[in-house]
Structure 1
Amino acid sequence: MEFDFSAILLGLTVLFGVVWGLDRLFLYQKRKARLEAAGEEYSDPMPVDWSRSLFPVVLVVLLLRSFVAEPFRIPSGSMMPTLDVGDFILVNKFAYGLRMPAFNNKLVDLGEPQRGDVVVFRFPGYLCQDGDTLVRSGDMSCNDPHAPVPAQNWIKRVIGLPGDSIEVHGAELWVNGQRVNAEEIGPYVGNPQRSVDQIMLNMGATVWTEHLGKVNHMIARMPAYTTPNSIPNDRVPSKVPPGCYLVMGDNRYDSLDSRWWGCMPEQNLAGKAFLIWMSWKGWGTGGVDFSRIGTVIH
């Protein structure tokens, strides 16, 4: 079941505010006078009392999540080794502009993503052929091009800006004709009791330092695992269109990203990931990983 927590917070804020406001405008004075005349102690009806108490709390949470920082949990290994399954991260919501809660319309422009940024965004959907046109679909197989796109937040690294020429072959990346350099650090080291680590260990994953513009970050390579799509391909051109970004996971052979579903529209941006505030590896497979707490995301 998909649900939008920001939409729920917005709805509750409006509900509590309307109940409390309408009561104070039209019912409060009459109710107070009636109780005083009867010699009874005044108290708000339960719905009004709850609305009055919860409205400021929900409003503050909504404002903090919408305009300051929002927590997310990493559910998959597509950003390993930078972000691990079970990492809890904070996302800067004003890095690229202030947006309307739930609707995501930009209210104030404060900047644009830079190459190498780790961004959270609303998944735009898979590119599927519908007659002579490409459409966005929630069906990865494209058997149903008009399947609704699930309301999911994804996290990837920006590799291509609007107007860039991007080529990707395996883990090799070219930006505007220049090969992005990377140096091997060594074999991936993980806990074989965790399924996500076991796959990487069995496939002989190696860890590299990639130099993507001004950002030096780690990536994982395991060509024995799968053969990812290249860019350009029949649905994703090498030229990044205006108002769009190409994004990829740092786990280059195990990431469902722009190589499959094309560019990420600017309007889908949620914010920039900047900090790991908690890391939970699971019962019996590490528990809390204190070494990752407080790690700044590059």
Structure 2
Amino acid sequence: MNLRHPLRENRGFLLFLLSFALFRTAVADWNPIPSGSMRPTLLEGDVVLVNRLAYDLKVPLTDVVLLPLGEPQRGDVVTLSSPAGGTRLIKRIVGLPGDRVAMHNGTVWINGAPLQYADVHTVGERLAPGWPVDAVRATEQLGPRAHTVQFLPGVSARRDVPERVVPAGEYFVLGDNRDNSEDSRFIGTVPREKLIGRAHHVLVAADWLGEDGWRMAPRLDRWLTAIR
């Protein structure tokens, strides 16, 4: 079979597909949220927009940096490739290069000072359908930026981390759902080249899990909302 004729006839469409693929791998992307590690900021079923040019211009499909474009900031929500296996994760930057970071009973300390927590309250939460737990939520003041974090007092979790200095060119990241997150407490600090991009908006959102199992219901109130 001669493929030249159909390839020639469809070259415009093929060029579009190639350009679209390069756009997603080098400029902007969207990622579904599969787990609850960033609750309540991000929920399972959210699809987030990611700016891949927020920090670096990279060779598509690689971690090779061609040109630095901006500096990651404390409080940024980022997608990253885990240095402990390559899994794509989404977390919040807490510690910058040179920072001294520790955790004591769930409280984050940066450079010898504890972060401040306000509006502490208890809500009902589900770890899975049919598994209700009590969750404590609070507004964490991370430098000039405030966001909500969640703790699960009834769940066994790593709430203490000895003070460590974040190496040059690396970042200490945490999930906002502090007692249910695989983050720098387990995977270590994240080299800059492993940062994929900054997540800045929820594009669309759906409720994946109901009380009785699988369902799909849109969460219209979360569509096109900025990530704090």
Specify if TM > 0.5: yes
Distance 1:170 1:92 in 2: 34
Q: Which amino acid aligns with 2:128?
A: S
- The answer to which structure has the higher helix fraction is 1
Identical counterparts, % of pairs: 35
Instruction: Give the counterpart of 1:169 among 82, 104, 107.
Output: 104
Which consecutive aligned stretches of 4+ in structure 1 deviate over 4 angstroms post-superposition?
Answer: 283-286
Instruction: Give the counterpart of 1:278 among 188, 204, 208.
Output: 204
For residues 268 and 164 of structure 1, do their structure 2 counterparts lie closer, same or farther at Cα, with a shift above 3 Å needed?
same
Distance 1:55 1:81 in 2: 40
CA contact (8 A) 2:82 2:187 kept: no
Structure 1 counterpart of 2:155: 225
Instruction: Give the counterpart of 2:187 among 261, 273, 280.
Output: 261
Query: Normalized against structure 1, the TM-score is what?
Result: 0.69
Q: Does 1:195 align with 2:125?
A: no
Q: How many residues align?
A: 222
1:156 deviates by 0.5
Distance 1:282 1:115 in 2: 30
Q: Which amino acid aligns with 1:118?
A: V
Query: Normalized against structure 2, the TM-score is what?
Result: 0.89
Of structures 1 and 2, the one scoring higher in RCO (CA 8 A, sep 6+) is 2
Larger Rg: 1
1:153 deviates by 1.1
CA contact (8 A) 2:106 2:160 kept: no
Q: Does 1:90 align with 2:49?
A: yes
Summarize deviations over 1:207-229 as a string: whole Å, max 9, x none: 11000012100000112211315
Structure 1 counterpart of 2:6: 46
Structure 2 counterpart of 1:245: 171
Note the residue ranges of structure 1 that are not aligned, 5 or more in a row: 1-42, 126-148
Distance 2:7 2:216 in 1: 45
CA contact (8 A) 1:99 1:106 kept: yes
Note the residue ranges of structure 2 that are not aligned, 5 or more in a row: none
Alpha-carbon RMSD: 2.1
CA contact (8 A) 1:229 1:260 kept: no
Distance 1:253 1:68 in 2: 33
Distance 2:19 2:105 in 1: 45
Distance 2:93 2:26 in 1: 21
Structure 1 counterpart of 2:17: 58
Distance 1:121 1:265 in 2: 9
